[in-house]
Every structure is written in C-alpha cells, then in structure tokens.
Amino acid sequence: MASPARLTRATPARHLLRSTFRPQTPKTRPYHSYETPQPSPYPPTESAILSSALSHVPNHGFTTESLRLGARDAGYLDASTNLFPRGAFDLVQYHLVTRRLALKDAVQFPEKLGVGAKVRCLALERLRANREVIHRWQEALALMAQPTYIPASIAELARLADEIWFLAGDTSVDTSWYTKRASLSAVYSAAEVFMTQDQSSDFKDTERFLDSRLEDLKAVGTAVGSVGEWVEFTGHSFVNLARSKGVRI
C-alpha cells in the first residue's frame, strides 16, 4: 500500500479499481490547481452532444433517445451517437463528472468554517445538483449497477469523495486519508439512494439523512486507528456501496 504522503490527486481511482472510464486527466497534469484551469475531460463534439442530451433527461431519462435528441440540438446527425459506445451510461457518467468538477465553483465558504462543515456543504451541494434528474436517477443507478459499468461507477464515486475532502481543505497524510474517503463514499452513495425516495419539501429529509450519516462518519474516524482496521472498514464500506448500486453480494 502506498504511503499517504506520496499520493497524488489521481491516486484514489488507481487504488480502487481500474475501469473503462473514458474521460481522463492528462498524465502531464495529475494534480489539482486553481491557478491553471483544468482542461475539459471531453472533446468538444462529445461535450456538446452530452450537454444538450442532459436537458432531455427530465423528459426522456438516461436513454439513447436523450442522446439522439442531444445530437440534433447540437447540430449533429443522429448517427453521431455512435461516438458513445456505452450508450446511456456515457450520459450518466457525463453528469457525474461534470457535476463533480463544478463543485469547486459552486460553494463559497464563510471564514473559519471547519473542514467537517465544509465537507457537509460540498456533499449537500453535490446532492442538490441531482434535483432536475432525481425522478430519473433510479434509471441511472440501474445502469451503474450493470457489471460492465460497476468499476467505472465506483471509481468516479471515489473521485468525488477525494474532491470533496480536497476542497474542504483536508491535509491529512496518515491512514485517515483512506478512511475518510472510503467512509464518505459510502455516506454519499447512501444519501443519493435515499434522495430518490424523498418526498419532503426541498429534500429536507435527505439533508437530515446526510447529517446523520456524517455524524456516523465522525465516529468511524475516531474509532479506526490502524491500517488493519482501515482494511476491514473499507471492505465493509464497499460491500455496502456495491449493494446500493444493485450488486447482490
């Protein structure tokens, strides 16, 4: 296992699972920088089609029909959907990637706000980014639960957890680096599934659910103090995570 002090921004995905994830950060820039803008993870044509297709998801779902309509809106032929060999899953992943990357500009923190409070704000903001498609999110979960796409789905969730802790200002370099990301991945995934059933005003029940699970996360962070305990906890976390994606284990 690599020492946390030597990890880069790209580490979580490599440590979790190698996947067929298409959008890639260039190898020459495996770090996070606010001074130098990150390049788009998608080529212009694909980005234009997928961005347009997302506007059709509320009515047509995460489907090839949304992709087809997105291609038309972007000025391309229906055949342009052949750019997406994984079909509707490519649309799901585009939503996941772009909403994750948007987090750094979506939340402004007041002074002296602690890391834990920042994590809460960022996780809640990411959940809120699903509002427009939440009534279609079960379709997305079903796609992510397909065996072919589980590695890419879990790897992207790992990137989200890492991004949240990074933006919150976490500077840990010990074994808690792992436990925080593993536990946040499980907490966020559970809150996302809960949100698909939430009928409360402005998803207040989801917010309360998230707060409750984050309290559990604090308890885990205090209780897990060794690499052996981390391995055991991580195993349980990802079993629960896989189950939330529909895997029978």
Write out the two tokens for 213. Answer: 């699970």
Q: What is the pLDDT of residues 14-60, one digit of tens each?
A: 333 333 334 544 333 334 444 445 677 899 999 999 999 999 999 99
Burial of 114 (0-12, 13-18, 19+ CB in 10 A): exposed
| The pLDDT of residue 228 is above 80 | no
At CA 89, angle to CA 86 and CA 90, rounded to 5?
70
What pLDDT does residue 233 have?
Answer: 46
Residues 16 and 12: their CA atoms lie apart, in Å, by 6
For the chain, give every domain's residue range.
42-85, 89-249
| The pLDDT of residue 230 is above 60 | no
What pLDDT does residue 243 have?
Answer: 55
What pLDDT does residue 226 have?
Answer: 43
What pLDDT does residue 131 have?
Answer: 96
Write out the two tokens for 78. Answer: 């229906």
What pLDDT does residue 240 have?
Answer: 53
Mean pLDDT over 214-224 rounds to: 65
- 173 — pLDDT class (breaks 50, 70, 90): confident
CB 56 within 8 A of CB 70: yes
Mean pLDDT over 136-160 rounds to: 95
Cα-based distances in Å from 243 to 30, 66, 189, 240, 246: 31, 28, 10, 5, 5
Mean pLDDT of the residues in the chain: 80
| The pLDDT of residue 113 is above 50 | yes
CB 68 within 8 A of CB 84: no
Residues 28 and 20: their CA atoms lie apart, in Å, by 20
Question: Which amino acid makes up residue 86?
Answer: R
What pLDDT does residue 34 have?
Answer: 47
CB 55 within 8 A of CB 189: no
157: nearest Cα among 191, 198, 116, 134: 191
CB 221 within 8 A of CB 176: yes
Residues 144 and 154: their CA atoms lie apart, in Å, by 9
What pLDDT does residue 183 have?
Answer: 87
pTM of the model: 0.77
79-82 long-range CB contacts below 8 Å, 24 or more apart? 80/45, 80/49, 81/49
Residues 66 and 56: their CA atoms lie apart, in Å, by 5
- 127 — pLDDT class (breaks 50, 70, 90): very high
Point out the least confidently predicted range of 19-33, 144-158, 164-178: 19-33
